[in-house]
Structures are given as structure tokens and as C-alpha cells.
């Protein structure tokens, strides 16, 4: 049973002041002192000064006088505050038992009532490399899915591939002019990008290129055999390349319903919009007016009748609405598309799509690597694959230095190298811009993934040394001050899970794991965990609990936790 210690304190205060303030009111005012030395929870007596017509300092003293102190270690007045020191033995016993009983399930809840949550994530564009932006979408989306599951939801991870649009007319044109089958087979994305970049270099002086490209896209839309064949091929080789990266990251999708999946679902969108009288013409194009939302009109069809990105997104949202009846429909997409998603939501609301109310754009900031921006058109590309490989190389070197006799070095280097990048991203509030300095993210000390991984491995190594694998003791009472912060943090985990879900914010979990790792390392440095005394088993149970919660935190972020490194 998870204990709510804030509630316990609130009830005690409520009794001591003869119900002058309700338990809920008191609960909302309880604070956490900065350090454990000052107490574990504090009630500020200011709140009662008006009602009781007394100085807060005096009220604090009166409360201490009257309060039932049996269930606390001590209760003291410090100025206007009543500081509570919790009963460490009872508290630690309770928390450790909870963690050991629940194992990796510790902290889970069923708030989501198994409701579906569609998560539009990763969604790179065919024939272009996955950018660091797509990486952010992939790892943020993946972690949000894990967090949602832990909160009782059923996430559906959909990779909304950019596999349709006028750019395919350009790509086909470019390939037929300058392309070579062997090259594309060898290194698909690299060559396809080259053709595309060349097209954009030349089309300014050769406007006829654009006409040819438009023509090819028309053919593609009309099902021309050659156009379809090339498009399918580009799509296939691109997905193969993407999958290699997803494999490295350990991310799986439930569906790969790209934009093209909705081609045959577009007419219905137009019909519905028409039926509701939402379409109008503007300079030959077909639009939905959104002035009532204070937004620019949404361009639904070009003057040549071609559909657009938003047309396909409307069909997508409609399809998700019908297929999953989602409790939430999330789009993990960079903040540069914020305005666009406002328009999308507005159109869907006008159409009366039920889940439109629960459509949320989950934006994130820009990412640069070693100060360099990523761009696919200019050709100054930093390939994600290269960044991952570099990171694994650095991890390999570090392990070689620190632990040369480790048997599964390759595997661990992969887990540390990839984990460093994923963690380095997720520890930031997602809306922030981040600059990635690889070496910094790979340090074993500091606010890094490897630091948390290392702390988990340290816990496992202590348990190996002690030869302790089974925990079935009667109690795990600890009342020393060294272990106290770690124990309190373990107790916070279920709330952290809820908060991360409410805010759709993996950084809540990442920052928590850093705090727990730090507290645990301090504990390790200041006490003899393996000393042979009566509390040895309780201490080892605490170490096991830390290991479980660190590993589970990392899993929620999509980061592996090796047992030794």
C-alpha cells in the first residue's frame, strides 16, 4: 500500500487546530523543506493567522504543543513553520516493501482506463535522411507511449511517413535525368537526396524542370505504372534505411500509415467539407475559412486539384477517430508546425470530428549537434546514423578504459552510446532548444544517461558482491540519515509517473532518475552498505529497490540499463 504522508500530516494538523482549516486546505499548503535536516514536510502557519488572530509563530508553537506526535519522529516549530520529521523506520519499511513487491510494476496506475491514445511520431520523409528533429520526435514519442502505458492508457504509435506530395514529381524527374539504379541500391538515401538537391539547384534557371515534375506528380496521382513503380521503390529503400535506425534506438511502431495511405480517403474529406458548406474558392484554390478562429484559411486543394499536406492530415485524423476512438490524438512534431496544427484542429472541429477536442500538438524545440544545424536541402547534413555511431565509438573507448574485462563490451557500448543520446535529449523540457555536444552526454559523471546507467550497474554490483538475490525478510526498517533522501525519492516515484503523464513530459522522469542516482551515490559514499550488522538485509533491499526504480525510469525513457559497465 502506498502511503500518503502529506495526508497523514494534514490530518494531524487539522486535529490540532480543531478543524479551523479543512484537511484538503491544509494538504494544499504543505511544503517540502529544502533539505531533510530541516524536516520532511512543513506546514506554514501564516494560513491560520487571520482565522485565529494570532501571530504565525505563536500558532506554530501551539500546534506543536497539541499535535499527536506518536506517528512522527519529531515535530518542531521553526519560526512560522511547523516542521515534521517522519518516522524513518516505518516509512522505509513501507516503501521498500512496495518496491520489492511490485518490481518493475512499481509506480503504475490505471488512470487511463485502457483508453487509446494515438501518437503521431517520427514521421520522416521518404528519400530524405532522418533528421535530428525526427530523432526527437521518435524518442519523445516513444517515451510518452511508455509513460502512457504505465498510467493505464493504450498507446498506438503511428509513423506518419511523408510519402506523398509534389516532391515525388521532382524526385522522379531528377532520378530519370541523372539517376543510376546501382547507386540507389548501394546507398539509397544518400543518392536520392543528391538528385533532389541537384533538381533544386537547377530549377531556378530551368523552369521547364518544374513543369515536368508537376506532370510526373499528376501521373503518380493518376496511377501511372512507371510513376508508381519508382515511387514504391523509393519508399521501400527509404523505409529499410529508417528501420535500421529505429532498430538501433529500440523503437517499434504499431502502424506505418504514411500520407499515401490516405489517398483513397481524400474524396470523403472533400465531400464532408462540401456537405457542411465549409469550402470556398480563393484564387482558383479550394480553402476552408478559419477567420472565426483568428487563423489564416486552410488550403485544401490547389488550383490544379492536387491535395496538400493538410488534406491528408484531415483524412488521417478522421481515420484515427473512427478506428481508435482515441481518448487523445497526439502529434509529436517540432514547434515550427504549431500554427499548422492549430489550423488542422480548427478544420476538424468545424467538421464535427469527435476527437478534435482531444487533438494535441506535442511540440518540441530545435536540436543542433556540436553547434551545427541540420538541413536536407542545402546538403549540409549531419546524418543521425553517424551521430549514433560516433556515440557508440566514444562509449566503447570509455568502457575499454574503465572496465577492460567486461565480457559483453560491444553490447554495453551500444546501450551506453545510444542511451547517452536518447537521455541527452529527454532530460530537457521538450520545448527547449538543445545543442548536443556528444562528449558531454557521454560522461559517466554529471547529468547524463551513462551516469544513471552507471548508478544502476553499481547497485547491481553491490548485490552481486553480497550474493543477495532473494528478498523475503519481514521488515526493512532503516532510520539512518544517510539513506533517508534515497528512501524518500523512492516513495515519490508513483507521483512522478502521474506528473510525467499529465504534462506529457519525459524530462520529469529523466530529472527524477538523476536525483535518485545522485542520492544513491551519496549514500554509497557515506555509509558502509555491506557492513555485517543487523541492518544489512534492509540496506541491500534498499539497494535492490534503487536498482529496480532506476532501471524502470530508464525503460520509460527508452534507455537500456546494463547490469555491469
Q: Which residues bind ligand ARG (CB under 6 A)?
A: 120, 123-125, 160, 162, 313, 316, 331, 333
Phi, psi of 529 (to 5 degrees): -65, -40
Helix axes 338-351, 266-275, angle to 10 degrees: 60
Residue with Cβ nearer ligand ARG (151 or 159)? 159
Question: How far is Cα 558 from Cα 118, in angstroms, rounded to an integer?
Answer: 18
Residue 266's H or E segment, with its range, is helix 266-275
Tell the smallest beta-carbon distance from residue 324 to ligand ARG (Å). Answer: 15
Which residue do the cell numbers 524530462 mark?
Answer: 507
Read off the DSSP letter of residue 336.
G
User: How many CB atoms sit inside 10 A of residue 402's CB?
Assistant: 11
Residue with Cβ nearer ligand ARG (332 or 561)? 332
Question: How far is Cα 496 from Cα 283, in angstroms, rounded to an integer?
Answer: 52
Residue with Cβ nearer ligand ARG (313 or 415)? 313
Q: How far is CA 34 from CA 31, 311, 526, in A?
A: 9, 52, 20
Tell the smallest beta-carbon distance from residue 116 to ligand ARG (Å). Answer: 17
Tell the smallest beta-carbon distance from residue 162 to ligand ARG (Å). Answer: 3
Residue with Cβ nearer ligand ARG (91 or 331)? 331
Q: Is 354 exposed, middle or buried (0-12, 13-18, 19+ CB in 10 A)?
A: exposed
Tell the smallest beta-carbon distance from residue 125 to ligand ARG (Å). Answer: 5
Question: How far is Cα 74 from Cα 56, in angstroms, rounded to an integer?
Answer: 20
Question: How far is Cα 404 from Cα 412, in angstroms, rounded to an integer?
Answer: 12
Tell the smallest beta-carbon distance from residue 328 to ligand ARG (Å). Answer: 14
CA count, 13 A, side-chain hemisphere, 174: 24
Q: Give CA torsion, residues 383, 387, 392, 394, to 10 deg.
A: 140
**Residues in a beta bridge with 332:** 362
Residue with Cβ nearer ligand ARG (123 or 238)? 123
Residue with Cβ nearer ligand ARG (209 or 290)? 290
Tell the smallest beta-carbon distance from residue 255 to ligand ARG (Å). Answer: 12
Q: How far is CA 82 from CA 10, 102, 239, in A?
A: 11, 34, 61
Name the residue whose CB lies closest to ligand ARG.
162
Greatest alpha-carbon pair distance for the chain in Å reads 90
Tell the smallest beta-carbon distance from residue 481 to ligand ARG (Å). Answer: 50
Residue with Cβ nearer ligand ARG (361 or 511)? 361
Tell the smallest beta-carbon distance from residue 363 to ligand ARG (Å). Answer: 11
Residue with Cβ nearer ligand ARG (124 or 326)? 124
Amino acid at each position: 500500500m502506498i502511503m500518503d504522508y502529506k495526508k497523514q500530516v494534514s490530518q494531524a494538523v487539522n486535529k490540532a487546530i480543531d478543524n479551523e482549516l479543512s484537511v484538503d486546505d491544509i494538504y494544499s499548503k504543505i511544503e517540502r523543506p529544502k533539505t531533510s535536516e530541516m524536516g520532511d514536510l512543513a506546514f506554514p502557519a501564516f494560513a491560520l493567522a487571520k482565522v485565529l488572530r494570532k501571530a504565525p509563530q505563536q500558532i506554530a508553537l501551539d500546534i506543536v504543543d497539541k499535535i499527536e506526535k506518536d506517528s512522527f519522529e519529531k515535530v518542531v516549530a521553526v519560526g512560522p513553520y511547523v516542521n515534521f520529521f517522519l518516522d524513518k523506520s516505518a516509512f522505509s519499511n513501507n516503501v521498500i516493501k512496495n518496491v520489492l513487491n511490485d518490481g518493475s510494476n512499481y509506480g503504475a496506475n490505471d488512470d487511463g482506463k485502457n483508453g487509446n491514445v494515438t501518437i503521431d511520431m517520427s514521421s520522416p520523409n521518404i528519400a530524405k535522411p532522418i533528421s535530428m528533429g525526427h530523432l526527437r520526435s521518435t524518442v519523445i514519442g516513444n517515451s510518452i507511449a511508455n509513460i502512457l502505458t504505465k498510467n493505464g492508457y493504450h498507446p498506438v504509435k503511428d509513423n506518419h511517413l511523408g510519402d506523398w506530395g509534389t516532391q515525388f514529381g521532382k524526385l522522379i524527374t531528377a532520378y530519370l535525368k541523372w539517376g543510376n539504379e546501382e547507386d540507389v541500391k548501394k546507398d539509397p538515401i544518400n543518392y536520392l537526396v543528391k538528385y533532389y538537391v541537384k533538381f533544386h539547384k537547377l530549377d531556378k534557371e530551368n523552369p521547364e524542370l518544374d513543369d515536368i515534375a508537376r506532370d510526373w506528380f499528376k501521373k503518380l496521382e493518376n496511377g501511372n505504372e512507371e510513376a508508381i513503380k519508382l515511387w514504391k521503390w523509393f519508399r521501400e529503400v527509404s523505409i529499410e534505411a529508417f528501420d535500421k535506425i529505429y532498430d538501433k534506438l529500440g523503437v517499434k511502431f504499431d502502424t506505418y500509415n504514411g500520407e499515401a495511405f490516405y489517398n483513397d480517403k481524400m474524396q470523403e474529406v472533400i465531400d464532408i467539407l462540401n456537405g457542411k458548406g465549409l469550402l470556398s474558392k480563393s484564387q482558383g484554390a479550394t480553402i476552408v475559412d478559419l477567420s472565426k478562429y483568428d487563423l489564416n484559411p486552410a488550403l485544401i486543394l490547389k488550383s490544379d486539384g492536387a491535395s496538400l499536406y493538410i488534406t491528408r492530415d484531415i483524412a488521417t485524423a478522421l481515420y484515427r477517430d473512427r478506428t481508435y476512438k482515441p481518448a487523445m490524438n497526439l502529434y509529436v512534431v517540432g514547434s515550427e508546425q504549431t500554427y499548422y496544427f492549430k489550423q488542422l484542429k480548427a478544420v476538424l472541429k468545424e467538421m464535427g470530428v469527435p476527437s478534435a477536442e482531444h487533438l494535441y500538438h506535442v511540440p518540441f524545440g530545435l536540436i543542433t549537434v556540436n553547434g551545427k544545424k541540420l538541413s536536407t536541402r542545402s546538403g549540409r547534413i549531419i546524418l543521425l546514423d553517424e551521430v549514433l555511431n560516433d556515440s557508440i565509438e566514444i562509449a566503447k573507448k570509455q568502457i575499454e578504459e574503465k572496465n577492460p574485462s567486461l565480457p559483453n563490451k560491444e553490447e554495453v557500448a551500444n546501450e551506453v552510446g545510444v542511451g547517452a543520446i536518447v537521455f541527452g535529449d529527454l532530460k530537457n523540457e521538450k520545448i527547449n532548444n538543445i545543442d548536443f555536444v556528444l562528449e558531454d552526454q557521454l560522461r559517466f559523471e554529471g547529468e547524463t544517461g551513462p551516469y544513471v546507467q552507471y548508478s544502476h550497474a553499481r547497485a547491481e554490483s553491490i548485490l552481486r558482491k553480497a550474493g543477495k538475490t532473494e528478498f523475503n525478510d519481514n521488515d526493512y526498517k532503516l532510520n539512518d540519515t544517510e539513506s533517508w533522501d534515497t528512501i524518500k525519492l523512492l516513495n515519490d516515484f508513483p507521483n512522478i509517473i502521474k506528473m510525467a503523464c499529465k504534462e506529457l513530459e519525459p524530462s520529469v522522469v529523466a530529472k527524477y532518475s538523476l536525483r535518485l542516482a545522485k542520492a544513491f551515490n551519496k549514500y554509497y559514499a557515506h555509509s558502509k552498505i555491506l557492513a555485517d550488522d543487523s541492518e544489512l538485509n534492509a540496506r541491500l533491499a534498499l539497494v535492490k529497490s534503487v536498482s529496480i526504480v532506476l532501471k524502470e525510469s530508464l525503460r520509460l525513457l527508452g534507455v537500456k540499463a546494463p547490469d555491469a559497465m
